[in-house]
Structure 1
Amino acid sequence: MTLRLLGPALLALALPAWGNAPESRHPTALRLAPGDAAPVIDGRLDDPAWQHAPVHDRFAQFLPADKQPARWRTTVQVLVTDDALVFGIRAWDPEPARIRAPLARRDQVKADQDYVAVFIDPVGHRRTAQFTRVSAAGAIEDGLYAAEEDTEDAAPDFNVEAATTRLPDGYSVELRWPLAALRFPHTGGAPWRVMVTRNIPREDRTLNVSAAALTKDGLSFIAELEPLDGLADLVEQVRERSFIAFRPELTLRSTRDSDADGTRRTRKASLGAELKWRPRADWVIDATLNPDFSQVELDAPQLAGNTRFALSVPEKRPFFLESADVVGPTQPDESGENRSLAAFYTRAITDPAWGLRATWRGATAEATVLNLRDAGGGQVLRAGAFATRSGLQPAGSQASFARGRLQMNSLGLAGLVSKRDFGNGLTTQVVGSDGVWRAGDSDQWRGHLLLSNTTLALDEDGELLSVSRQRGHRAWLGWHHSDADWIANVNVEEISPRFANDNGFVNQSGVRRASGLAYLRLGPRELLVDMHESELTLRLQETRTLADPLLGVAAGQVVDRLVQPGFWFAAARNTGVWGYVGLDQHRARSGGRLHQARTLALGLESNPGELLSFLSAEIEWGRRLDVDADRVGTGLQAELEAKLRAPLPGGLWLEFEQRLGLGWVDGPDGRRAFTDRSTQSLVVLHLSPRDSLRLISQQGRFTRRADASVSLAAEDGRNRQAALMFQHRVGLARILSLGLNRASERPGQARHRELFAKATLSY
């Protein structure tokens, strides 16, 4: 039956549910009585239970302008079964032919698609929320939203089930959220809170929310989550219930490696497993044995040839993502820096052989403890004021981390302990505390103090050294303000020269820094284009050295001084445009010259249409610093990202994503001193909602012209990676992957080829 014929029939079945169900001022759940049939998750709201579930339809517009009446009707109903919350959401649309519903990978439901989303805070304090987005095509994105940073992390996955049905006047969604996937206190918790949102991507993207009091002036997007009524004694009934999930995986791999020393071939079968046990509501125990993370997507390429400091990459491995908010925030703040990674950076754990973790969550406190064995192969970082040195990790190490947090109304205080033991007396330990204080509706203070000691150091060649115990500290205090007129972030920090954390990310030390970022809100404006929002921006920063006799660094040297006035505005098609003038100063090495850099930066981000669904471009041009040559010259750094989605005959969908990066600086003679390039192409053919074929091709190249005047030799370094994979995926329950990976690097002429098959099941 075609969709055109099927739609009216489904609509006729669904109408009694909305006609007979009572309306509710807040989202209200209906507890199914014993013997009542739970709805079938097929996207059709025609099951008998929906006829009696209260209907909530009090939605307000949040984007492009907040506190406006919603123009499209949306209704929400909630059912409670023995083991899950089930959301039924109906989205009316006066132009259903314009609904954007492409097939997409998990965690790729973005602003270019029609979707509904559910945010749940089972703790009830509106500090964090679990969320799931469901597109009109049934694609899912899920993760955690943190109020302290007002950011989302789509890496965590929950075992949710969702289905959608297209209707003649919109679409409907059923979302089943197992109680086992929710994290809440055993006793004393606040009422569960929820918010439902609906995204409508047309010429002017519209985002409607069920929390009508939510405004863009608040400190976070989840500041106005509303109580979910109707749960009654649900928490008391399920808090003692135990849930166990077991995920065995089998990986078959054939590899061939070749370099100047010859060719080596291996064949290996690897059996691993993950166990998740929730003995009761407030405890979660995670265990992993011989996990295989080789099929995690390639990290997005970064231009690294002209930087002095190590670059961080996001976490994507499942074991580390359970209750990530208890470990601590992992998203960068609005200045682009990520101070929280100094405490625990999971990508410092390279190849776990086994791991064990316990997480507890109470009404006013929470804690997590983990211990694992890392087979090694990653990097050890030792930072300085002007550069980060790196060395190869030893073959095996033990990593331990613990953090506990106490919440006292608007004040939250946490303590942490971290240890990395590489054996042979090489250890690094960190203890510290962090905190956050909500000083009213517009102001937030955050900070931390970390103390480290280590017996591991690196020599000039990156070789590990055993040294007498070296101690260091890292202190940071930040203030965030947001109201209807302006936003401000002010940070001050000090990182002593010998601060180290081998379970964390430390790319600079021996400095004292002050920074500020301010946005003056000008509101809607009409200047060449209709601006939905507009802001003037100013970024200020100064970093100075602390005395470091070991590296020969004198105190008080300016490492960088940034003055960057700019602007930002939002327009149609979810378009954001920004720019700034960089009146900056940089020093590349201790005792070197403080260079004057003068640049102009412009950026754009947009959802142009259904075919070209996303476009992002940023370019900085002017007098830029050449770090290795210790001079400035005319140069450019540019990054481009484009995403295309297109339907194909037979119900297939094609995704194509392209990332390009380019950077260069000219020498004094006007010729190119160096060029840094990176590209990544991703093609995904969706054969069905469960089956896809994915091809990734990625390469980077850094070239430098020899320059005897600054004692620089010629360079030509290249790396290439390609991966072809077929994947059959049914949520988190069943994943089968077959593929081929190839990689090469020069100089060195190293090559790697891998054929693999991997199967993961869930019980």
Structure 2
Amino acid sequence: MTFRLLGLGLLALALPTWADHPVALRLAAGTTPPAIDGRLDEPAWQQAPVYEQFAQFLPTDKLPARWRTTVQVLVTDDALVFGIRAWDPEPERIRAPLARRDQVKADQDFVAVFIDPVGRRRTAQYVRVSAAGAIDDGLFAAEEASEDAAPDFDVEAATVRLADGYSVELRWPLAALRFPYQACTQAAGLRQLPPEGVGPTCADGLPWRVMVTRNIPREDRTLNVSAPALTKDALHFIAELQPLDGLADLVEQVRERSFITFRPELTLRSTQGSDETGTRRSREASLGAELKWRPRADWVIDATLNPDFSQVELDEPQLAGNTHFALSVPEKRHFFLESADVVGPTQPDESGENRSLAAFYTRAITDPDWGLRATWRGTGAEATALHLRDAGGGPVLRASAFATRTGEQPRDSQASFARGRRQFGENGQLGLAGLVSLRDFGDGLTTRVVGSDGVWRAGDNDQWRGHLLLSATTLGLDADGQVLRVPTDRGHRAWLGWRHLDADWFANVNVEEISPRFANDNGFVNQSGIRRASAFGYLRLGEQELAGLALHESEAQLTLQETRTLSDPLLGVAAGQVVERQLRPGFWFAAARNTGVWGHVGLDQHRARSGGTLHPTRTLLLGVESNPGEMLSYVTAEIEWGRRLDVEADRVGNGLQAQTEAKLRFALPGGGWLELEQRLGLGYVNAPDGQRAFTDRSAQSLVVWHLSARDSLRLIHQQTHFTRRADAAANLSAADSRERQLALMFQHRVGLARLLSVGLNRASERPGRLRSRELFAKLALGF
């Protein structure tokens, strides 16, 4: 240990002077950029300023970091290169499994870089790099205080394990960053003198901001951040991003530079489908392409032609047998993920609602033939617009207060969407946006939506958000779910939300109204004809001790919600009926091994149909999640049991709903890593005679064999199974439906530029004896 400490001291003396904030070093013309191999041994690294003022954020904030971490930044003609050195006194305990993209989680040692090239700390692009070199990237949205891991950036990273830790090199191309058209010339002038040591604030731009984090999973997970001022009292995680100095000349030079990426793809496919009428086979070869053009810093143009999504992972199965409402699924197709924050946030808030999907839900686009999209981003405003042709075949939704009716989309529709947002105030405290959405199915079947949304940050602890959307549609569904043209139906959706966070308590309060005829075929609307008020809050109790167990954090929680109907004469729904009422006192605490435990008592009421009984339901929910160790890296389980509502039978019975997930990772003797994930879901409610009225099951098994950092073999098998016993008293027939899906795929991936996939997809559905099989091979190359 003495020699190790001596070595650290000598190395510290050899490094350049420490910086008070991150400072980038511009490489001189003709200098060879460092090779991205994880080794910080090139001459440029010996000259770059070093930043190491890290502070602890988890499990307890406001403490000095116990593990030393240093950050250096180099600037080349076309990229930022981060060199990060992570020292560890117990390097044998570093957790560094090979993992899929976007699967670098809290159970692994990693470093992360958050960049906000706009400088207002509203959104940040982030990249996590594990100690094994795996990448996890996406967008962090301050308004939602949440991450979206769907977007992928064309970054390159490498790591090296060392005797006293590990080092990381991360190359972030400027073409993968979205920043305004800033002018930092003297002619532009300065609004005010910049703070000491900070690069100039341009007349039409702000300094780029950055934060580096480091995760150390031990008995207690530790997260260190390079922004010492960041605490858990902040409204969001990127509230204290620091200026990245040394970029003024770079921004001036690259703001006019054009970047273009062309990605052609070839897919060979053999399919076979069968049902009760016979078997059908087909073979096809299809060419597709994607084009990304950044004509200058603030514009990005995306085009896609005949995209193929055969390599995208299957959606996770969901329990859907005891609800009349449609369920949303996350987007995984990369064309729709460019600058997703400009379209609008996509993560649910603390109440579980995802109101942003009412405006634009990309999964409403089923099978695009082609698409074109333009995105513009300035220092105080941004906008995006897209237009595409959809081959159709997906669901069309028409909602009411008690159910979502579903029909089949007409084929060959046109979808258009545009949204622009403007920020006001020195730090963008007020943001106002307008949007327009159009879906044209031909034959006079159209749906139009116009609206506005806004956000107001009322100080450091409070945020107000809201929107107003107006719709008009001529597309309706008959009693059998068939699409038909109807006289224009008009509707609205209004929502206002308040969010507060300080050192003592948190609150999220929302009120909204959705008129009976509101519809958006470019969005997700699964309930309408309601007025809802909801509130979720918690009181921070701080560090506690429970039965000898040290709790890092603890909270007392309360959820309140009431949903009532609006008058809907067309469907015969009277106004003022309670659809749902929630009263849920609960708790949450965090302990060792990144363990969280939560629970609540549900003193709720539910009504399953208009004019029906308002049923009291009494349930108890308990949940836990943890990172137990390096092999069993993650486990979570949640179970709710008690008196639950059987929606179809319109009665209450004893039952439960449970979900569990476990992840295992371990090294194989012959090399590589094996990744196993198992998800299980179970729900049931008993009939008055004590026998099972229905049972709803779901399961997903995922196995990934990482042959190397670039090559993997992935197997996914999942199924859902719903059964219901015949019940004459409730006028219900017996039901038995089952869906199975299997996907096997070998993939060779080099960043986002080169991809080779070969795979097999199989699916079956009962009743109906529907079966399908697909063999495919896909090659994509980026230029």
- 2:9 and 2:759 map into 1 onto residues whose CA distance is 43
Q: Which residue of 2 aligns with 1:120?
A: 115
Question: Among 454, 466, 477, which residue is 1:447 paired with?
Answer: 466
- 1:356 paired with 2:356, answer no
- 1:679 paired with 2:699, answer yes
Q: Which residue of 1 aligns with 2:150?
A: 155
Identity in percent:
80
- 1:18 and 1:434 map into 2 onto residues whose CA distance is 53
- 1:237 paired with 2:286, answer no
- 1:337 paired with 2:353, answer yes
Q: Deviations over 1:310-335 (max 9, x none)?
A: 00000010110000000011110011
Question: Among 605, 609, 622, which residue is 1:602 paired with?
Answer: 622
The one-letter code sitting in structure 1 at the alignment partner of 2:79 is: A
Note if contact 1:17-1:45 (Cα within 8 Å) is conserved in structure 2: no
State the 1:293 CA deviation.
Answer: 1.1
- Alpha carbons of 1:32 and 1:665: their partners in 2 closer, same or farther (altered >3 Å)? same
The one-letter code sitting in structure 2 at the alignment partner of 1:652 is: G
Q: Deviations over 1:70-98 (max 9, x none)?
A: 00000000000000000000000000000
SS in 1 for 2:729: helix
- 1:365 and 1:758 map into 2 onto residues whose CA distance is 39
- 1:573 paired with 2:593, answer yes
Q: Which residue of 2 aligns with 1:3?
A: none
- 2:744 and 2:9 map into 1 onto residues whose CA distance is 43
State the 1:232 CA deviation.
Answer: 2.7
Q: Which residue of 2 aligns with 1:658?
A: 678
Q: Which residue of 2 aligns with 1:509?
A: 528
- Alpha carbons of 1:20 and 1:596: their partners in 2 closer, same or farther (altered >3 Å)? closer
Q: Which residue of 2 aligns with 1:4?
A: none
- Please list every run of 5 or more consecutive structure 1 residues that lacks an aligned counterpart in the other structure: 1-7
So what's the TM-score if we normalise by structure 2?
Answer: 0.95
Q: Deviations over 1:272-292 (max 9, x none)?
A: 000000000000000000000
- 1:58 paired with 2:53, answer yes
- 1:383 and 1:427 map into 2 onto residues whose CA distance is 17
Q: Which residue of 1 aligns with 2:517?
A: 498
Question: Among 103, 106, 115, which residue is 1:108 paired with?
Answer: 103
Q: Which residue of 1 aligns with 2:727?
A: 707
So what's the TM-score if we normalise by structure 1?
Answer: 0.98
SS in 1 for 2:317: coil
State the 1:36 CA deviation.
Answer: 1.4
Matches within 5 A, 1:457-606: 457-528=476-547, 529-606=549-626
Q: Which residue of 2 aligns with 1:436?
A: 455
Matches within 5 A, 1:377-456: 377-409=393-425, 410-456=429-475
Q: Which residue of 1 aligns with 2:133?
A: 138
Q: Which residue of 2 aligns with 1:626?
A: 646
State the 1:35 CA deviation.
Answer: 1.4
- 1:120 and 1:62 map into 2 onto residues whose CA distance is 18
Q: Which residue of 1 aligns with 2:196?
A: none
State the 1:229 CA deviation.
Answer: 1.0
State the 1:231 CA deviation.
Answer: 1.4
SS in 2 for 1:233: helix
Note if contact 1:538-1:564 (Cα within 8 Å) is conserved in structure 2: yes
SS in 1 for 2:371: strand
- 1:605 and 1:454 map into 2 onto residues whose CA distance is 44
The one-letter code sitting in structure 2 at the alignment partner of 1:513 is: R
SS in 2 for 1:582: strand
SS in 2 for 1:50: helix
Question: Stretches of 4+ moved more than 2 A in 1?
Answer: 11-18
- 1:62 and 1:14 map into 2 onto residues whose CA distance is 26
State the 1:240 CA deviation.
Answer: 0.1
- 2:715 and 2:474 map into 1 onto residues whose CA distance is 44
- 2:275 and 2:551 map into 1 onto residues whose CA distance is 56
Q: Which residue of 1 aligns with 2:755?
A: 735
Q: Deviations over 1:359-414 (max 9, x none)?
A: 00011010000000000010000000000000000111000000000000200000
- Alpha carbons of 1:701 and 1:232: their partners in 2 closer, same or farther (altered >3 Å)? same
State the 1:308 CA deviation.
Answer: 1.3
Q: Which residue of 2 aligns with 1:218?
A: 234
The one-letter code sitting in structure 2 at the alignment partner of 1:165 is: V
Note if contact 2:698-2:720 (Cα within 8 Å) is conserved in structure 1: yes
- Alpha carbons of 1:726 and 1:208: their partners in 2 closer, same or farther (altered >3 Å)? same
Note if contact 1:17-1:50 (Cα within 8 Å) is conserved in structure 2: no
Note if contact 1:18-1:51 (Cα within 8 Å) is conserved in structure 2: no
- Alpha carbons of 1:387 and 1:260: their partners in 2 closer, same or farther (altered >3 Å)? same
- Please list every run of 5 or more consecutive structure 2 residues that lacks an aligned counterpart in the other structure: 183-203
- 1:709 and 1:110 map into 2 onto residues whose CA distance is 50
Q: Deviations over 1:445-491 (max 9, x none)?
A: 00000000000111121011111001000000000000000000000
Question: Among 307, 318, 323, which residue is 2:339 paired with?
Answer: 323
SS in 1 for 2:439: strand
State the 1:294 CA deviation.
Answer: 2.1
SS in 2 for 1:554: coil
The one-letter code sitting in structure 2 at the alignment partner of 1:713 is: S
Note if contact 1:94-1:170 (Cα within 8 Å) is conserved in structure 2: yes
State the 1:13 CA deviation.
Answer: 13
- 2:10 and 2:763 map into 1 onto residues whose CA distance is 56
Q: Deviations over 1:243-294 (max 9, x none)?
A: 0000111110001101001000000101000000000000000000000012
The one-letter code sitting in structure 2 at the alignment partner of 1:254 is: S
CA RMSD of aligned residues (A): 1.3
Note if contact 1:60-1:67 (Cα within 8 Å) is conserved in structure 2: yes
State the 1:16 CA deviation.
Answer: 6.0
State the 1:723 CA deviation.
Answer: 0.8
The one-letter code sitting in structure 2 at the alignment partner of 1:664 is: Y
Q: Which residue of 1 aligns with 2:201?
A: none
State the 1:37 CA deviation.
Answer: 1.5
- 1:144 and 1:189 map into 2 onto residues whose CA distance is 21
Note if contact 1:17-1:46 (Cα within 8 Å) is conserved in structure 2: no
Note if contact 1:575-1:605 (Cα within 8 Å) is conserved in structure 2: yes
Note if contact 1:276-1:287 (Cα within 8 Å) is conserved in structure 2: yes
- 1:691 and 1:593 map into 2 onto residues whose CA distance is 57
- 1:189 and 1:507 map into 2 onto residues whose CA distance is 41
State the 1:530 CA deviation.
Answer: 0.8
The one-letter code sitting in structure 2 at the alignment partner of 1:240 is: E
